[in-house]
Every structure is written in C-alpha cells, then in structure tokens.
Amino acid sequence: MKTKKNLLLAIAIFGGVLFTVEATNIINLDGQTTTELKKGKRKLLPNG
C-alpha cells in the first residue's frame, strides 16, 4: 500500500513539472512575441 502512495505521489509531481514546462512554453519567454498595436482606420458609427 505504501508503494502505491509513493508511486501516485511521484506521478503527481512529474505531472506538475510537465504542466509547468508546458505553461512556460505557451507563454514564450524568449521575447519572440511583440506587444505592438496595429493601427488602422477607425469607423465612426452614428449615435454610438
């Protein structure tokens, strides 16, 4: 029974590490993404 708990704990820790790695890959901390705004013509609607 103790080995099952240890195995479950090891799998949970491994899953948490994989989730963290995947989250940092999605965020993309390499600076490849830019935060610039694309400007275009604005349409003025009558009466908002």
d(CA 15, CA 27): 18
d(CA 12, CA 19): 10
pLDDT of residue 5: 92
The token duo for 7 is 């195995």
pLDDT of residue 15: 86
Percent of the chain with pLDDT over 90: 19
Say which DSSP state 13 is in.
Answer: H
Please give the model's pTM, rounded to 2 decimal places.
Answer: 0.46
d(CA 26, CA 32): 12
Residues of the chain by 3-state class (helix, strand, coil), percent to 5: 55, 0, 45
Residue 24 has pLDDT above 80, yes or no: no
